[in-house]
Amino acid sequence: MHELSIVQDLLKVCDTNATEQGASSVKRVEIQIGKLSGVEPHYLKKAFDAFKVGGHCSDAELIIEIQDIIVRCCQCGREGTIMANEFVCPMCGSRELVVIKGEDLVLMRLELEK
């Protein structure tokens, strides 16, 4: 399962941050998941809750924000949101699109407790 390794990496980053900041625990973890990242938020949350036990994140709450897919059209230069299932520029109909946002999972914010 894709989500398990993501959660393990995420928890590692949280632990490292907490240790570096001299925090006793992590209260909140806020992440952004791109619609094209292939990550299932429901599974990610489940995995997070299962793996957080014992580390700095034992009591941490995971907040997930979904990032829309934003593309730039190579033909007309339009930048904007598209649906995952319609990879076509709404302005000119071109299929030459570059994804600017929506492919990644980004750690936005950590709330630490000293």
Q: Which residues bind Zn ion (CB under 5 A)?
A: 73, 75-76, 78, 89, 91-92, 94
The verdict on whether residue 89 carries a ligand-binding annotation is yes
CB 72 to Zn ion: min, Å: 9
Residue 82 contacts residue 110 (beta carbons within 8 Å): no
β-bridge partners, 110: 29
Nearer to Zn ion, 50 or 92 (CB): 92
CB 88 to Zn ion: min, Å: 9
Nearer to Zn ion, 23 or 74 (CB): 74
The verdict on whether residue 92 carries a ligand-binding annotation is yes
Residue 102 contacts residue 69 (beta carbons within 8 Å): yes
Residue 72 contacts residue 98 (beta carbons within 8 Å): yes
Nearer to Zn ion, 58 or 75 (CB): 75
Q: What φ, ψ does residue 50 adopt, rounded to 5°?
A: -75, -35
Nearer to Zn ion, 95 or 109 (CB): 95
- Report how far residue 47's alpha carbon sits from residue 55's, in angstroms, rounded to the nearest whole number: 14
CB 97 to Zn ion: min, Å: 8
The verdict on whether residue 57 carries a ligand-binding annotation is no
The verdict on whether residue 73 carries a ligand-binding annotation is yes
What dihedral angle (degrees, nearest 10) is formed by the CA atoms of 99, 101, 105, 108? 160
Annotated binding site for Ni(2+): 2
